[in-house]
Chain A
Amino acid sequence: MENIMHNIENQRSQFIRPCTRVWLALLVLTGITYSIGRMELGGTQIVMLVLIITFIKGEMVAGFFMGLRKTSLLWRAIMASWLLIVGGGIAIAYLVGLK
């Protein structure tokens, strides 16, 4: 019984609480992205900031919500690569559009 209670507490401290903090962080980062959009800010630095925020949000969802942070390097690398390729591609396309 003591072991069960210990494991429940482990699950709460290692899974639920970090995910709750991630959820709140995601809301804050969404607020920042929205504010940038509302102020209609543009330009290379702003767009790069938005993309970095998006990458961080994506990594948070994949790592904590989807549980990939507890998996092998291969799974995490696939997800991180996808985020980097998509985010990097969007950044390159934006720079191409400036010319």
Chain B
Amino acid sequence: MSTQTLTLDSHKAGTPPGDLAIWFFIFAELLAFGIFFLSYAFARAHNVELFNESQQHLNRESGAINTVVLITSSYFVVRAVAAIREGLSRRCVHWLGAAIGLGGVFLVIKLFEFHAKFSAGISLSTNTFYMFYLSLTIFHFMHVILGMVILAAVMLKARRGGYSAEHHTGVETGASYWHMVDLLWIILFPLVYVIR
């Protein structure tokens, strides 16, 4: 193991960690969600009472718990990246497994929330607020699933010894995508559940 392999910035100086291609994908995703967030905000501006009234029926607790779950999951991914930078594959696998587990917790909580809404007869066509609430959160839900699939693929490769302190771009690439999923929820939660 060379000295250089254990330096903090294993990626090329000045560029973000992971494969550069994922960053173009991340910024494209951020652009799409950004437009979605602003569409929600301006639709609310024209239906303030409806949005405030409908928002009261959301389960703010599950939204907050899911924020904690995703933030913690993101932190576990940070630990996985740190582990592989030290060449500790097993530890990396464990942290990734824990992060994926929390991703599963997020999905289960969200499914309970969706079930409650659908059981109450709420759908995309109920009103403008629920159209945005359901489409935004379902769109994000799909991204959590994709992130978990990516992390699982990275974890399986790490378990087979496919990454090392010298070569771990794949771990950083998966990590970057997962952090984006977390970042999007950090904005979605106050926007949909809190701001009134």
Measured CB to CB, the residues of A under 8 A from B are 3-4, 7-8, 10-12, 14-16, 19-20, 23, 26-27, 30, 33-34, 36-38, 40, 42, 47, 50-51, 53-54, 57-58, 61-62, 64-68, 70-72, 75, 78, 82, 85-87, 89-90, 93-94, 96-98
Q: How far is the CA of A40 from the CA of B195 in the complex (A)?
A: 9
Are A16's CB and B45's CB within 8 A? no
Interface presence of B110 (CB below 8 A): no
- What are the residues of chain B within 8 A of A11 when measuring CB–CB? 6-8, 82, 85-86
Does A26 lie within 8 Å of B195, measured CB to CB? Answer: no
| A61 engages B195 (CB within 8 Å) | no
Please, what's the 1-or-0 string for B40-59, where 1 marks a CB less than 8 Å from any CB in chain A? 01101110100010001000
Given A36-B194, A94-B45, are A23 and B71 also a contact pair (CB < 8 Å)?
A: yes
Q: How far apart are the CA atoms of A85 and B190 in the complex, in Å?
A: 16
- In the bound complex, do residue A82 and residue B34 qualify as a contact, i.e. CB atoms below 8 Å apart? yes
Candidates B31, B68, B180; contact of A27 at CB < 8 Å: B68
Chain B interface residue number, banded: 35 or more
Q: Which residues of chain B from 123 to 149 have any CB-CB distance to chain A below 8 Å in the complex?
A: none
Q: Is B176 an interface residue (CB 8 A)?
A: yes
Known contacts A36-B194, A90-B41, A94-B45; A58 and B187 CB within 8 A of each other: yes
A33 to B179 Cα, complex, angstroms: 20
B30 contacts partner chain A, Cβ-Cβ < 8 Å: yes
List the A side residues contacting B190 at CB < 8 Å.
33, 37, 50-51, 53-54
B3 to chain A, nearest CB (A): 4
Using known A-B contacts A27-B71, A61-B182, A85-B34, determine if residue A71 contacts B8 with beta carbons closer than 8 Å: no
- B46 lies within 8 A of A72 (CB): no
User: Are B186's CB and A54's CB within 8 A?
Assistant: yes
**Is A19 in contact with B75, judged by CB distance below 8 angstroms?**
yes
For A65, give its contact among B9, B11, B74 (CB under 8 Å).
B74
Give me the interface of B with A, judged by CB distance under 8 Å: 1, 3, 6-9, 11, 14-17, 23, 27, 30-31, 34, 37-38, 41-42, 44-46, 48, 52, 56, 60, 64, 67-68, 71-72, 74-75, 77-79, 82, 85-86, 172, 176, 179-180, 182-183, 186-187, 189-191, 193-196
Query: What are 18 A-B interface contacts by the 8 Å CB criterion?
Result: A15-B78, A19-B82, A33-B194, A37-B60, A38-B60, A53-B190, A57-B186, A61-B182, A67-B11, A70-B8, A71-B14, A72-B14, A85-B34, A86-B37, A93-B41, A93-B44, A97-B44, A97-B46
Please name all residues of chain B whose beta carbon is closer than 8 Å to the beta carbon of A47 when the two chains form the complex. Answer: 195
Contacts of B71 in A (CB 8 A): 23, 26-27, 30
